[in-house]
Amino acid sequence: MKVAALQMVSGVSCSANLQAAKILIKQAAEQGAEIVVLPEYFCLLGAVDTDKLAIKEVLGRGPIQEMLSQSAEQHKIWIVGGTLPLEAENDSHKVYNSTLVFNPQGELVVRYNKIHLFKFKKGNEQYDESKTLVAGSTPVVFDMLCQAGQTWRIGLSICYDLRFPELYRALSDLGSELILVPSAFTYTTGAAHWEILLRARAIENQAWVMAAAQGGTHENSRKTWGQTLVVSPWGKVMSQLETGSGCLVVDINKDEIDEARTNLPALKHRRL
């Protein structure tokens, strides 16, 4: 199955970001991708964190969701909408950072709300997502029937989730064969930990891992790490983008999952 991870350098204009995403989605579809994954905050990296509140949407309607649905239907592909801000029912000052998945008919299949909220401080560089986000609580997987007739079980996670292996073990227990990680890793934390964490999550769960990233210097002066990549169940980086906008298309297969789990049946050896 051909999969595509898109890398963006999203700015402060939601409409401009949606147009850029549409172009990359089209490129991925033209290269034969059956599922396309956008990065975290593909729709907006605002001048300040609270800018996301201005573009928040109610589940089921809004220009961001319309673009994702229409693009999926137009190109007859699955689209994993990175993340977008969705209304928090009981707090008008915060939103959920949510991944939405659309099938080739343009229908919303599943929603995942980011569970782990990023907080970081080093000198003048500091972030605290809890000021604008409500945390999710539930691991989410979905099933995708590919053109070859195989059904893939796909697990969802977002950026900072990557540091919490218990979530990925839960996704593995739910049968995940491919785990997605739309992200906007900072340059500082990405340089230190991005690849090693992604490879670890693939190795320990003997599953494919695909991470679509923000990658570059943004209009708000934030610098993200990039390095969008796909990792095999054996922990090999199959392909990688460095920085800037782009489309990474990779062929993945279930044989490598079966081989890893047969040769080294670590998942069967668990005792805890």
CA distance 3 to 60: 25
Is 43 known to be catalytic? no
Query: Of residues 43, 159, 177, 223, which has the active-site annotation?
Result: 159
DSSP helix/strand/coil, 84:
strand
List the catalytic residue out of 34, 40, 57, 177: 40
Give the 3-state secondary structure of residue 29: helix
CA 251 to CA 230: how far, in whole Å?
Answer: 10
The catalytically annotated residue of 52, 94, 114, 223 is 114
* CA–CA distance, 50 with 131 (Å, rounded to integer): 9
Please tell me the distance from the alpha carbon of residue 54 to that of residue 12, in angstroms, as a whole number. Answer: 12
Q: Count Cβ atoms within 10 A of the Cβ of residue 4 and give its class: 0-12 exposed, 13-18 middle, 19 or more buried.
A: buried
User: Do 132 and 52 meet the contact criterion of CB atoms below 8 Å apart?
Assistant: yes
Based on the residue annotation, tell me whether 40 is a catalytic residue of this protein. yes
Other residues' Cβ atoms within 10 Å of the Cβ of residue 50: 13
Measure the CA–CA gap between 2 and 230, rounded to whole angstroms: 11
Q: Are 250 and 238 in contact (CB under 8 A)?
A: yes
Q: Could you give the residue numbers annotated as active site?
A: 40, 114, 159
